[in-house]
Amino acid sequence: MRPNVLFFFADQFRFDAIAAHGNPHIKTPNLDRLIREGVTFTNAYTPSPVCVAARCSLHYGQYPIHTNCYENSKMPEDGRLSYVDALTRAGYRTHAIGKCHFSPDKYALRGFESREYQEEIGFKDMSRENYMNDLIAAGFDYCIEPHGVRSEMYYIPQPARMPQRLHPTQWIGDRTMAFLDEQKGSNRPWYLFSSFIHPHPPFAPPSPWHTLYRSEEMPLPKLPDNYEELQIFINKIQNRSKYKNRGWDEHLLRTMKAYYYACVSFVDYQIGRVIERLEENGQLENTLILFASDHGELLGDYGCFGKRSMHDAAAHIPLIARGGDFVGGKRCDTPVSLVDIAPTLISIGGADRSDMSLDGKDLVDILGGDQSRRGVYSFFSSKRKVQRLCGKENFDFSDEAWDFAGMNMMYAERDLKYFYSFPDDKEILFDNASDPEQTKNYASERPEKLAYMRGELIKMLEMENKAYFTEGGKFNPPAIPIIPENPDWGLAHQDFAPEYFDFSVLEGYKS
């Protein structure tokens, strides 16, 4: 009998934001239970530390060098099949609830038979905005930013503007349980992608969850003595755009962490509600449960905020499986990636993959001892920022070459992690065996290991005919952008203006 599959997915959820992963400051009893009863992959990494690119790689089981999606840009539109397509063809009832972040068409199915929509920003078709319609029907039409107020307040912790029963995270839990009730007694196996937007900023938990953690109880971010030397180009750009390039307020940092943790615990609470419903419906023992995230959140570590870099806070993700072969409270330290989800679920679901090209490996095989792959990769391109700073017109590059001119990329094994940033020609080598907190760059002290890790990354790029700007076994960046001295350069605004809100009230005040 083929199992049902329930995939809990969270956005911007750090690996270490789980109590059972060694965090004494947070409460996650339901994720702890999944780890206790299942398997946690302790060296799981995102294929790209940004939303769309990571989800694209997850969906198609391919690294960004094959999807050509390196940032929040378009996903492939060439008709290639996803793992969800394979499960649907194999007879699974496939459904998605919450954020998929498909691009360019946010309402696309991309293999799912059906979806219930709760996307992060921008309402284009109110007839399909399931969550927003429920919120408006409940009298909360003034909540034009339901996931938290952005713009200059993007990283200001804030209580949600709606009660717990109408919070977007609770809506995902409610709709997930409704789906389980609909499938009770069905002879058809199902696959459900249940995707939470939180703890993505703004950190906006509902009352009373915003009081769960107190700022004075929160540890400060990880700030090694030389932390500024461990920053790369995208960190500096991102700190500016998030209004975090001026000053350092320790109380605010602790409060940010308290609200981030509250968002995490509220997601964990929904997972517990759903597991309880699975048990009530008699579905638990025939359901494979997965939990993962697209990427993490720097949350002040190394003096940085957001994602997009290869530091563990952004690139190291939780990946937990419970059910089937994933039992016994095991911990697997073999490096894995989101690209491994596709071949795993295709195999478990008895689906056909003969017309698909997958980069990942079956997690069941990895758990069983398959050591044929030593490490995993990750890619992110800040192409648009580099083009703006260097002047696109000054260089005769193809679009794909520009991707690499703005790239930071990673190769990670069990003990070593290497990443390279083209825009500032910086190599960083972390040694987890001797420095598990990754507080020191060993690039100059470990030349042999540096050459090996760099070589493995370049070798992979050469195999894919994408070794742009490499020469003699080293990287050779084509242009080094100069970040403007003006501290206000690059500040980002993400004002939210859904079509149902009447801005005419601002006439005479807003130009």
* Tens-place pLDDT, residues 369-399: 998 999 999 999 999 999 999 999 999 999 9
- Collect all residues with Cβ–Cβ distance below 8 Å to 151 and sequence separation of at least 6: 493, 494, 495
Q: Which of 226-230, 241-245, 359-363 has the lowest mean pLDDT?
A: 241-245
Ramachandran region of residue 508, left (φ > 0), alpha (ψ -120 to 50) or beta? left
Please name which of 293, 336, 363, 325 lies closest in space to residue 31, comparing C-alpha atoms: 293
- Given pLDDT bands bounded at 50, 70 and 90, which one contains residue 497? low
Q: Is the pLDDT reported for residue 465 higher than 90?
A: yes
Please name which of 14, 172, 192, 15 lies closest in space to residue 88, comparing C-alpha atoms: 192
Q: Which domains, ranges and CATH numbers included, belong to the chain? A: 4-368 (3.40.720.10), 382-475 (3.30.1120.10)
Residue with tokens 């080598």: 429
Cis bond leading into 208, ω under 30°?
yes
- Label residue 456 exposed, middle or buried (CB < 10 Å: 0-12, 13-18, 19+): middle
Chain centre to alpha carbon of residue 143: 25
Q: Is the pLDDT reported for residue 511 higher than 70?
A: no
Q: Is the pLDDT reported for residue 492 higher than 90?
A: no
Please name which of 428, 387, 383 lies closest in space to residue 407, comparing C-alpha atoms: 383
- Say if CB 274 and CB 180 are below 8 A apart: yes
* Helix%, strand%, coil% for the chain, nearest 5: 35, 15, 50
- Given pLDDT bands bounded at 50, 70 and 90, which one contains residue 494? confident
Residue 448: φ, ψ to 5°: -70, -45
Tell me, what's the pLDDT at 314? 98
- Collect all residues with Cβ–Cβ distance below 8 Å to 387 and sequence separation of at least 6: 402, 406
Region 346-360: what's the mean pLDDT?
A: 96
Which amino acid is it at 366? I
For 325, the token pair is 């072969």
Residue 292 β-bridge partners: 9, 319
Measured CA to CA, the distance from residue 444 to residue 62 in angstroms comes to 33
CB atoms inside a 10 Å sphere around CB 282: 10
Please name which of 68, 466, 442, 77 lies closest in space to residue 229, comparing C-alpha atoms: 442
Residue 420 β-bridge partners: 409, 427
Q: Say what the pTM is.
A: 0.97
Region 328-342: what's the mean pLDDT?
A: 98
For 339, the token pair is 């690209």
CB atoms inside a 10 Å sphere around CB 483: 15
Task: Give the strand pairing for 4-10 and 407-412.
Answer: unpaired
Which amino acid is it at 471? E
Region 470-489: what's the mean pLDDT?
A: 93
Q: Which of 317-321, 385-389, 500-504 has the lowest mean pLDDT?
A: 500-504
Q: Is the pLDDT reported for residue 502 higher than 80?
A: no
Tell me, what's the pLDDT at 335? 98
Tell me, what's the pLDDT at 499? 63
- Given pLDDT bands bounded at 50, 70 and 90, which one contains residue 507? confident
